[in-house]
């Protein structure tokens, strides 16, 4: 009985870190960063989540892309019609958030780790946050979406718009306690920040907050984060990380 109790408590203390594919699972045949294929491949790899980034066009269409420009065109300066024929590296058209949400319905088990990129003005940031939360609610996928952003303003807007959602701040410069006071319930920090401030993991957990770490690509870093019991490891090598997490 005592041994059983010890096993349960040990298991409880070492809950397995979950793996998130960074910009989807794109380092494989037929995929590309932030493509629909990268979401499909992440789902097929059976990881916890697929991360992706969103940007706003001049006519306020939300597109899925990491950088604020694509093929030398600044996304915020053109209407969507000027981007709709742009192809990703795997031949797919640049997806809109609507395309992405529609595709995600085919893979109901994977979480959507939605990064709203900082925008030039507060108005744009508030608009994109509102627009996305509205789409997420209308498509009944609130239980699958976890929000992340480098913009404190966007995180604060998300707290107002969707307070029960998972919302994590990315910029690495604020303690869990200070984020908690704002209603933000997670940290999603660079692996070097977490490595240098491992006490933030305990601090976050004691407040009921989650700890995600990016972009954890080296084997020794993945192992270090697993040993630190972070909740989520965001990586460009999701299959490798998943194998290591299961060990
Ligand atoms: Mg991202």
Give the pLDDT confidence of 166-183 residue by residue, as tens digits.
999 999 999 999 999 999
How many angstroms does the Cα of residue 220 sit away from the middle of ligand 1? 22
The per-residue pLDDT for 15 is: 74
Return the exposure string of 27-64: e unless at least 16 CB atoms fall within 10 Å of the residue's CB, then b: beeebbbbbbbbbbbbbebebbbbbbbbbbbeeebbbb
The per-residue pLDDT for 9 is: 38
How many angstroms does the Cα of residue 52 sit away from the middle of ligand 1? 5
Give the pLDDT confidence of 99-127 residue by residue, as tens digits.
999 999 999 999 999 999 999 999 999 99
The per-residue pLDDT for 4 is: 45
Contacts of 127 (CB under 8 A, 6+ apart): 56, 60
How many angstroms does the Cα of residue 214 sit away from the middle of ligand 1? 9
The per-residue pLDDT for 1 is: 46
10 has pLDDT over 80 = no
7 has pLDDT over 70 = no
How many angstroms does the Cα of residue 244 sit away from the middle of ligand 1? 23
Q: Which residue reads 């609610």 in tokens?
A: 137
How many angstroms does the Cα of residue 7 sit away from the middle of ligand 1? 37
- Name the pTM for this structure: 0.94
How many angstroms does the Cα of residue 215 sit away from the middle of ligand 1? 9
Contacts of 120 (CB under 8 A, 6+ apart): 76
**64 with 71: CB under 8 angstroms?**
no
d(CA 189, CA 92) in angstroms, rounded, equals: 30
d(CA 230, CA 234) in angstroms, rounded, equals: 11
How many angstroms does the Cα of residue 185 sit away from the middle of ligand 1? 18
Give the pLDDT confidence of 123-154 residue by residue, as tens digits.
999 999 999 999 999 999 999 999 999 999 99
The per-residue pLDDT for 41 is: 98
Band of residue 5 on the pLDDT scale cut at 50, 70, 90: very low
Band of residue 12 on the pLDDT scale cut at 50, 70, 90: very low
* Residues flanking ion ligand 1, Cβ below 5 Å: 53, 115
Q: What is the DSSP letter of 197?
A: -
How many angstroms does the Cα of residue 196 sit away from the middle of ligand 1? 22
């Amino acid at each position: 009985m005592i041994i059983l109790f010890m096993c349960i408590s040990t298991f409880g203390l070492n809950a397995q870190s979950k793996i998130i594919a960074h910009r989807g699972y794109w380092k494989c045949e037929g995929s590309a960063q932030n493509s629909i294929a990268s979401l499909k491949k992440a789902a097929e790899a059976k990881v916890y989540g697929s991360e992706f980034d969103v940007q706003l066009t001049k006519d306020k269409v939300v597109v899925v892309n990491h950088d604020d420009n694509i093929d030398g065109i600044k996304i915020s300066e053109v209407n969507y019609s000027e981007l709709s024929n742009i192809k990703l590296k795997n031949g797919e058209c640049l997806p809109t958030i609507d395309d992405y949400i529609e595709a995600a319905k085919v893979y109901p088990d994977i979480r959507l780790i939605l990064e709203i990129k900082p925008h030039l003005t507060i108005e744009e940031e508030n608009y994109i946050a509102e627009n996305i939360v509205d789409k997420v609610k209308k498509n009944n996928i609130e239980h699958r979406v976890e929000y992340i952003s480098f913009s404190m303003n966007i995180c604060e807007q998300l707290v107002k718009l969707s307070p029960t959602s998972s919302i994590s701040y990315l910029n690495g410069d604020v303690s869990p306690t200070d984020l908690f006071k704002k209603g933000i319930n997670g940290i999603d920090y660079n692996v070097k920040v977490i490595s240098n401030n491992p006490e933030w993991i305990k601090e976050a957990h004691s407040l009921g907050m989650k700890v995600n770490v990016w972009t954890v690509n080296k084997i020794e870093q993945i192992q270090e984060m697993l040993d630190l019991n972070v909740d989520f490891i965001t990586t460009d090598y999701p299959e490798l990380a998943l194998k290591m997490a299961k060990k």
